A = this chain, B = another copy of it.
Amino acid sequence: MDSVEVPEVVVLRLPLYVRALSQLMSESIDVVSSQQLGGLLQMTPAQIRKDLSYFGRFGKQGRGYDVRFLLHELQEILGLDREWRACLVGVGRLGRAIINYPGFYRENFRIVAAFDGDRAQVGSTIGEFNVQSMDELSDTVIDKKISIGIVAVPAQQAQNVIDVLIENNIKGILNYAPVAAKVPMNIVVRNIDPVLSLQSMTFYLRELE
């Protein structure tokens, strides 16, 4: 399997498959057809089969997919069969909400350090974290084997923080700041921004009115 051949749009959909399959498992459903899976994912059965074909043959013709097997395979493909460690930069209102969000931990993403550029925040305690200064980022990233940086600083500071993270060998950025970050091609950025999501929605809504 060579990921270069897998279109990014397919990779972006795989977590939705994982979620849908997890739901089916929790409903004790053992086998699912591409038709049923399509219903859960707003996709046609043909799209489902095409997406999964990038990773080998998961279903038997006319038999549907084994839910547990497909779920485990996709989790492995996505690298979800291990723990990933992240640091948070920015412990304002948003950063505190992120630290307290139980969803990360539940899915094997662990925030293991919190930083802030504001000296007034450094040394304060949030949950189990002692907020550290940006000067400590280099050592902490190495010591705690951090591979993901979560950026929750104001827009004006975001690019600078992202640059520092990349200098310290962070390859994945989860960016909550409403900016188009400038990063090298080998860095993976995901923007969490409800406005971006709404703006790609209205393209379709506009036509329905």
Interface string of A68-103 (1 = CB under 8 A from B): 000000000111100010100000010001100101
| Cα distance, A78 to B198, chains bound together (Å) | 10
Copies of this chain, whole number: 2
> Nearest residue in B to A150 (C-beta to C-beta)?
B194
The interface residues of chain B lying within 8 Å CB-to-CB of A84 are 198, 202, 205
Question: Which stretch (A16-24, A114-122, A124-132, A133-141) binds chain B?
Answer: A16-24
A40 within 8 A of B: yes
> Nearest residue in B to A38 (C-beta to C-beta)?
B185
- Within 8 Å by CB of A205, from B101, B172, B195, B209, lies B172
| Chain A positions 27-68 with a Cβ under 8 Å from a chain B Cβ | 39-42
Task: Assess whether A148 is in contact with B205, with CB atoms less than 8 Å apart.
Answer: yes
Task: Assess whether A197 is in contact with B174, with CB atoms less than 8 Å apart.
Answer: yes
Interface string of A170-209 (1 = CB under 8 A from B): 0110100011101101111111111111111111111111
| Cα distance, A195 to B78, chains bound together (Å) | 12
The interface residues of chain B lying within 8 Å CB-to-CB of A15 are 195-196, 199-200
- Within 8 Å by CB of A201, from B9, B16, B23, B188, lies B188
From known contacts A11-B203, A14-B203, infer whether A19 and B196 are also in contact, taking CB-CB under 8 Å.
Answer: yes
Task: Assess whether B42 is in contact with A202, with CB atoms less than 8 Å apart.
Answer: no
CB of A147 to closest CB in B, whole Å? 6
Interface string of A145-160 (1 = CB under 8 A from B): 0011000000000000
> Nearest residue in B to A187 (C-beta to C-beta)?
B42
Contact surface of A with B, Cβ cutoff 8 Å: 3, 8-9, 11-12, 14-16, 18-20, 23, 39-42, 77-80, 84, 86, 93, 97-98, 101, 103-104, 107, 109, 147-148, 171-172, 174, 178-180, 182-183, 185-209
Beyond A19-B196, A186-B208, 7 additional contacts (C-beta under 8 Å) are A9-B9, A79-B205, A84-B205, A104-B198, A148-B198, A188-B201, A188-B204
